[in-house]
Amino acid sequence: MNLEEWKSQIKRGTLEFCILLLIQRKPRYGYELISQLERWPMVATKESTIYPLLRRLLKEGCLDSFWQETTQGLPPRKYYSMTQQGRAYLEEMSAQWRELSQAIAAMEQGGDEDDGQAVE
């Protein structure tokens, strides 16, 4: 496996988490999410990736959507907001992310030595 393929796998596995993190703060529309994600090249994505993911999260009950008129005379935008089910899912994802991050940090610091602590 090359580095680009590895990065693609990481992105694929974390993009849903990143989208939910952004939407939890305030309702957002698709292009706004794409623009926000571009701030972090590791998770930057395209319309062909984000819209199917948003549709799936809607179908699964993690998100709601609503249309809102714009003030600039542009067509209405479809905004996505977090549901209670989405918030619960995000909380679970955050807990798993912290656990994974802690495990990796421990390994980076030489945590592979048997120090008598249980490993789950």
Predicted confidence at residue 51, as pLDDT, reads 97
pLDDT at 17 over 70: yes
Q: Write out pLDDT tens, residues 39-64.
A: 999 999 999 999 999 999 999 999 99
In the chain, how long is the greatest CA-to-CA distance?
65
14 Cβ contact partners less than 8 Å away, ≥ 6 residues apart: 43
Query: What is the C-alpha to C-alpha distance for residues 61 and 23, in angstroms, rounded to an integer?
Result: 14
Average pLDDT over residues 8-17: 91
Q: What angle do CA 83, 88, 90 make, to 5 degrees?
A: 90
Are the C-beta atoms of 58 and 80 separated by less than 8 Å? yes
What's the average model confidence in pLDDT over 16-41? 97
Task: Single out the residue of 62, 52, 53 nearest to residue 14, CA to CA.
Answer: 53
Give pLDDT tens digits for 89-111.
999 999 999 999 999 999 999 87
For residues 57-81, average pLDDT: 93
Q: Residue 59: count other Cβ atoms within 10 Å of its Cβ.
A: 9
Kindly report the pTM of this predicted structure: 0.85
CA–centroid distance for 79 within its chain:
16
